[in-house]
Structure 1
Amino acid sequence: MIEPPPPQRYVAYLRVTDRPGTLTAVAEVVSTRGISIESFATGDFRDGSAVMTLVFATSERLQRLIERTLNRLAVVQRVTVLPAGDPQVLATGVVHPDAELRFTPPADAAVTWSGDTANGQPLLIEGQLLEVERVLAAARADGARRVSSALLPPEFAQHLS
């Protein structure tokens, strides 16, 4: 028997109408296909619209179906879906200082960072999503207990209008 390929992670950026029911409509498109939303955020509110960002994992075939279905929703103005590893998918991460934590990103991490946990400062990390996640995983492995992350609005957000 041939094994199906493992699900790939995707990030969907949607420009949507800011009104009651929008979140439900978008979530329903994903959830009715048996896919869990790993991460969800809103932002860039202007002129009665907002950008929604969803992270989910599925097959390429289902990702295309979800993208087409989202584009058909009356509350959705535009959809861009990218693989999580795409260079345009940027994120930030913060490693909050703990009393004993002395953490700096691995030398081979392709991220920019500032701050010094050894001096009680939070460590701010910025870069491609998968690289930021790798650095945050290393921080957790080193004992960091307070770690957070967020996807940045895409550079192409103006094209989501």
Structure 2
Amino acid sequence: MTSEPVVIHTDGGCRPNPGPGGWGAVLRHREHVREMCGGEPGQTSNNRMELTAPIMALEALTRPMSVHLYTDSTYVRNGITKWVVGWERNGWMTAAKQPVKNVDLWQRLQLACARHRVEWFWVKGHSGVGDNELADVLATRGMQAALGALA
């Protein structure tokens, strides 16, 4: 693993929630910048799109890397850093004995993280952090593309 981390900012959302959604990610490593986005034209949720963004960004890395991953979703950050170990241990059930929502994406995110050394950071959304704002723009673009609004 290289010592200089890849810095990733991610965002996702739906309009309305649930509804069509999009995700975006900005990856920076040294002088290289990659912008990614995608979307779902059918019924999805904000949380699914917030989870999809870091999955897609981490899966796009071609070799194991040190990663600083920024999200404005406390659901994603707390889920992957605090809750997922207990969910897995309890057969993907919550403390309230309910099935974990979005289990398919949590498992995929775990696999994506396993290849890398990921440090997770929360950033307040719409607070002027440039790459978080760009990730938001990309998420909107991804949703619009999924809906066929972009050529």
Q: TM-score, normalised by structure 1?
A: 0.28
* Structure 1 or 2: more strand by fraction: 1
- TM-score, structure 2 normalization: 0.29
Answer with 1 or 2: which has the greater Rg: 1
> Which structure has the higher relative contact order (CA within 8 Å, separation 6+)?
2
Higher helix share: 2
